[in-house]
Amino acid sequence: MTSFYEKVYYVVRRIPAGKVTSYGRIAEMLSAPRAARAVGYALNALGDKKGDPA
């Protein structure tokens, strides 16, 4: 797992239950506003594992 993915998971875990945000907003929170697609890839890499942040 790359450090970028770890940063994505950290940010996603901080989103309160029941709240929604976009991949683009998560990318902005990571100071990488053009990385929305990479955020999607990071979340897809989790698959259906237990303990996922979403």
Single pTM value for the model? 0.82
- Residuewise pLDDT in 10s, the chain (54 residues): 679 999 999 999 999 999 999 999 999 999 999 999 999 999 999 887 655 555
- What the chain holds in terms of domains, given with CATH numbers, is 3-44 (1.10.10.10)
Per-residue three-class SS string for the chain = CCHHHHHHHHHHHCCCCCCCCCHHHHHHHCCCCCCHHHHHHHHHCCCCCCCCCC
